Structure 1
């Protein structure tokens, strides 16, 4: 891309700023306890005059010890009454003077209602700072991406309204709306695309705008979204190439007229690029980013269950490196990755106050609570957050492992959600274990299925069902699901001693392999992802269901001939209830 003198000057200034940000990040790592102490007290002082602050004695808190004595560990249920007051317009319920709530970021909860996170000016600034640190380090490591377009996915910030009239939606929408124009010009898709209701039409529009450009990097939360985008482009290659040639946006997609009008200035006839794309497709026999883009890196989650999606990346991207975007949620950012190819990142100590509970003590009356500099490499912990959104000692239910240290700051990688643990007879299997077991079982039988679900079922004895989408003839699918069930059963016994004990003792029956009709997982995930928000870019497929009966909807996708109970590698018979 040819840059003007003004662009070169601005990029030079950005480079200087990047070096300062990275230097500050490393300096903070050397004095982590001091940085965290100051951050905590700034949160406390800012909201000492709020109703929540008065109820919890913020005015008398002088340090971490006082904070722990005054503020209990809590979940969303405990914060919800205070948040509801803010949603009704009573900002002083949680926040001090001269603070405003710009929106409520919505995320799915463990109940049938969404969770709402108040986004103040400071919280927005903190979120932006975390993304800025991620982007600066990633672009410093991949300088060939600097000044080139990026593909990112944004969702609306105003999908609903609180009783006070404040918008509720995705914080990505707010961030895009206040982004610098100099940065927005590099976004392949403008903010208005987020308001296309139809998912396929939205993905098509993003790729219609992005494919002709010299895209340098893609950033989105879930790798599943990345795969959806590139598969949409490949399955609609003819239409995209024709649209590029003619400077149009196909009428076959359900795109509102107002959004079409807003996109028109970006659509110009480009026969030269269209011919290049057609030549690429003819030569490669496919229509993949590895052929039409020069990507420097991909940014998305890689930890926990995400590895199953990453195995498909080489088919579309070749050997393009992947940079984890960090452990982050609507409630706040917890890590900033510093290298490609690892889910681990530096604990985000500059804008989030972090505490950790050893895995073995979670749920106990008085668990040991550790600070960032008190952790041990190789150990696993659950995280507590305190942020400028008014969340204090918030149990976000994320389990992490410490993989090392940068100065006094731990490098942490996400393993699984704490509520993604199934235990019908005390086996306590985690989603992380299930994903690992399935990956090894699939490799052993040469299966490339990605979407699956393991769900507990009541019987005598209870057992688990492994749902795998059908890929061919019914008999072949039955055999494949049975082999995978046996493999997962064996691997879970290897990974989890309690599971092995329950299986060998007959307290758990063998896993039942079930082939479901193609599209089942996507259909159910689509309903779950949009339960509270039309477009949820942070939605994660759930590989482990934790309650018997939770798979009732999946059972409706099963043909009677596609179920078979196979004797597993471990002993233990089952009598159907």
Structure 2
């Protein structure tokens, strides 16, 4: 046993003991965070604008702080960029995590000295929970790779800015940095395809034990290695024993990824975002990810069906129910208030509070009133792959076809197959039947002959990669939306039709 793995076990026991204390007292933990946040921000511009000095409880908070998105907070962000301090949180942010996706272009999400530990410690604690539960820490003594964005930072005003994964790279604990891959120089390469080849150059001869990244980009890494060597990943990295991922649902990628590896192996799911690190898989035996209730974030939850209402219900942690979809709202020591991150979550347990990410609040299909959500299409694809084990997919996305050239409208499933179904019509029917089972409104459309059954459009194996490359978002933390209520993305991806 190496030095790192030896020391990690008592540390893991200590961290899990601390974790159990707040996880077993969820309401008290969240109330403590709430009071700390209100006190910490009452003298900020936002705190004064929203009467933080008069807020005593959550009801007061809801009366004074509305639910917002980035655009509503942007005037405050602009003031920070211009150099003003004590705007959303005391002092100035340490960084801005730069992301894309809003109607006005880039988002600049503040990271403060108080919020950075949430990102760093949550990632660390995910591994320590695994070590504590399994007793396996050997992977710490070998090489670890984190497929992430460039750590090169620019400036927004006088504040350092860059991709979240690049910022976090500057805070990797020293005990992991020595065996972290790829090299800093390689990680700084912006072009994903060039960077990927360099990463392979550096890692092929290494004793890799842990690989972390968004599944489609990890799969691309594996594909290139297999092309170069003619060997499975297990043959190239015989001691590869732990896969860490986040950003997308793993299930559609699982079969192909493990087929590339040559074996199944343990994995840890994470729920990080630029706005905060919200949850991680704390057990190999329980469903879902442990919500971080003692990490500088006070959570609110809006029933997803009420999200677009003028006055939606806002719930605290002790008011949620298992099995319901909620829009996740956060308030944090990064200076985000009533902030909708755009994700929906579903609780699979309230003792402790564990969640799964069920979709994006704005990623749905309701062209005909069906309101199909991300969780439903993910479950549908997972079921179809189980029923047709010969099928392996690279990626897929779903969009409505409202005005086809002939016949009834339909949902179009654009799929890049690694291995195609023996019978594509049967595979499409399996998808359709499962979606009808999961969504009664969709079933009504089919039964009432308002729409016809699912149409599959096979794409080239690299169609989604080519699409991301065409919009300058190949690699890193970028991903294609699983579904959309229009055809803006679908009509672009279909250019790589098989």
* Contact 1:214-1:294 within 8 A present in 2 as well: yes
Distance 1:182 1:320 in 2: 28
Match of 1:321 in 2: 265
The C-alpha deviation readout for 1:37-67, integer Å capped at 9, x for no partner, is: 1212222222222111110111222232322
Task: Please state if 1:554 is matched with 2:493.
Answer: yes
Q: Of 166, 177, 188, which aligns to 1:173?
A: 166
Distance 2:116 2:75 in 1: 22
Match of 2:366 in 1: 423
* Contact 1:211-1:293 within 8 A present in 2 as well: no
Following superposition, the deviation at residue 394 of structure 1 comes to: 1.3
Task: Please state if 1:508 is matched with 2:451.
Answer: yes
Following superposition, the deviation at residue 186 of structure 1 comes to: 1.8
Range with bigger deviation, 413-422 or 104-113? 104-113
Q: Of 165, 176, 189, which aligns to 2:182?
A: 189
Task: Please state if 1:496 is matched with 2:439.
Answer: yes
Distance 1:173 1:470, change over 3 A: closer
Q: Of 216, 221, 227, which aligns to 1:229?
A: 221
Following superposition, the deviation at residue 118 of structure 1 comes to: 0.7
Q: Of 436, 440, 446, which aligns to 2:379?
A: 436
* Contact 1:176-1:191 within 8 A present in 2 as well: no
The C-alpha deviation readout for 1:429-466, integer Å capped at 9, x for no partner, is: 11222232234345545432332222112227532222
Following superposition, the deviation at residue 187 of structure 1 comes to: 0.5
Following superposition, the deviation at residue 497 of structure 1 comes to: 0.7
Distance 1:342 1:545, change over 3 A: farther
Q: How does 1:475-554 map to 2 (within 5 A)?
A: 481-528=424-471, 530-531=472-473, 535-537=475-477, 539-554=478-493
Distance 1:398 1:85 in 2: 27
Task: Please state if 1:64 is matched with 2:61.
Answer: no
Query: Number of residues paired by the alignment?
Result: 491
* Contact 2:393-2:416 within 8 A present in 1 as well: yes
Range with bigger deviation, 10-19 or 315-324? 10-19
Task: Please state if 1:103 is matched with 2:110.
Answer: no
Task: Please state if 1:378 is matched with 2:370.
Answer: no
* Contact 1:150-1:215 within 8 A present in 2 as well: yes
* Contact 1:324-1:343 within 8 A present in 2 as well: no
Match of 2:306 in 1: 361
Greater Rg, structure 1 or structure 2? 1
Following superposition, the deviation at residue 341 of structure 1 comes to: 6.4
Secondary structure of 1:21's counterpart equals helix
Task: Please state if 1:330 is matched with 2:269.
Answer: no
* Contact 2:377-2:435 within 8 A present in 1 as well: yes
Following superposition, the deviation at residue 114 of structure 1 comes to: 2.4
Match of 2:332 in 1: 387
Task: Please state if 1:467 is matched with 2:467.
Answer: no
Distance 2:264 2:455 in 1: 38
Task: Please state if 1:209 is matched with 2:202.
Answer: yes
Match of 1:242 in 2: none
Q: How does 1:20-169 map to 2 (within 5 A)?
A: 20-96=14-90, 99-111=91-103, 113-140=105-132, 141=134, 142-158=136-152, 160-162=154-156, 164-169=157-162
Distance 1:350 1:410 in 2: 12
* Contact 1:290-1:316 within 8 A present in 2 as well: no
Match of 1:574 in 2: none
The C-alpha deviation readout for 1:372-402, integer Å capped at 9, x for no partner, is: 2332233332211111111112112222221
Distance 1:432 1:377, change over 3 A: closer
Distance 1:55 1:128, change over 3 A: same
Distance 1:440 1:13 in 2: 42
The C-alpha deviation readout for 1:459-497, integer Å capped at 9, x for no partner, is: 27532222234779xxx99x9554443332332222211
Larger strand share, 1 or 2: 2
Distance 1:482 1:161 in 2: 53
* Contact 2:391-2:417 within 8 A present in 1 as well: no
Match of 1:277 in 2: none
Unpaired segments of 5 or more residues in structure 2? none
Match of 1:451 in 2: 395
What CA RMSD, in Å, does the superposition of the two structures yield over aligned residues? 2.7
* Contact 2:69-2:340 within 8 A present in 1 as well: yes
Unpaired segments of 5 or more residues in structure 1? 238-284, 563-577
* Contact 1:326-1:337 within 8 A present in 2 as well: yes
* Contact 1:301-1:343 within 8 A present in 2 as well: no
Distance 1:341 1:451 in 2: 27
Following superposition, the deviation at residue 526 of structure 1 comes to: 3.1
Range with bigger deviation, 27-36 or 353-362? 353-362
Distance 2:335 2:494 in 1: 41
Task: Please state if 1:297 is matched with 2:237.
Answer: no
For normalisation by structure 1, the TM-score amounts to 0.78
Following superposition, the deviation at residue 23 of structure 1 comes to: 1.0
The C-alpha deviation readout for 1:97-118, integer Å capped at 9, x for no partner, is: xx33222112232436122211
Distance 1:158 1:422, change over 3 A: same
Distance 2:384 2:165 in 1: 37
Following superposition, the deviation at residue 230 of structure 1 comes to: 1.9
